[in-house]
Amino acid sequence: MITEKNIIQFISSWTNELLNIHEAYLSGSDYELLGRTFIKKHYLFDDELVLFKPTMTSKTIFRNNTESALSYFIGGKFSEDKGFALQAFSKINIEEINTIIEDTLIAVMGIFNFESEKSNESYRVAFTFVLKETKSGLKIKIHHSSLIT
């Protein structure tokens, strides 16, 4: 049975592994492999249709397959993608978590506060994940996020 604790652990895994991609990028390690592993672990792309509306897109708004999602996180496929996971943030705080767990519906929304490693700047992103329980753990079926201005 899924609990709120399981959901918070999943979100923490998502943020920690996003930061790990950034660290690999800085150290010259294989950040693309980490990006692919991150997507495989946290999203259902290999098994089902996924709806993904990332935070910072303006031309190709939706990234509903693995390659498009990977481009968003590490750059490559679309010219607007600079690699969200490669940005210089040192910490991601998770705030205001709200969950719904009803039968097979697992939904969570909250705020990610991305802190810059180079300045005192930060930006806040509201997110909504609809999750699905799989044999390998929770995975994202729907991801929507947007900047809080």
Q: What is residue 121's predicted lDDT score, i.e. its pLDDT? A: 82
Nearest-angstrom CA–CA distance, 68 and 134: 23
Q: Is the pTM of this model over 0.85?
A: yes
For the chain, the structural domain boundaries read 4-147
| pLDDT tens for the chain, residues 1 to 149 | 899 999 999 999 999 999 999 999 999 999 999 999 999 999 999 999 999 999 999 999 999 999 999 999 999 989 999 999 998 788 899 999 999 999 889 999 999 999 987 777 888 999 999 999 999 999 999 999 999 98
Residue 18 — φ and ψ, nearest 5°? Answer: -60, -45
Q: What is residue 66's predicted lDDT score, i.e. its pLDDT? A: 97
Structural fold of domain 4-147:
Nuclear Transport Factor 2; Chain: A, (3.10.450)
**Could you tell me whether strands 105-116 and 89-102 are parallel, antiparallel, or unpaired per DSSP bridges?**
antiparallel
From edge to edge, which strands make up the β-sheet containing 89-102? 51-53, 137-147, 122-134, 105-116, 89-102
Nearest-angstrom CA–CA distance, 55 and 145: 5
In angstroms and rounded to an integer, the radius of gyration of the C-alpha atoms of the chain is 15
Residue 144 carries which DSSP code? Answer: E
Residue 44's CB: how many other CB atoms inside 10 A?
18
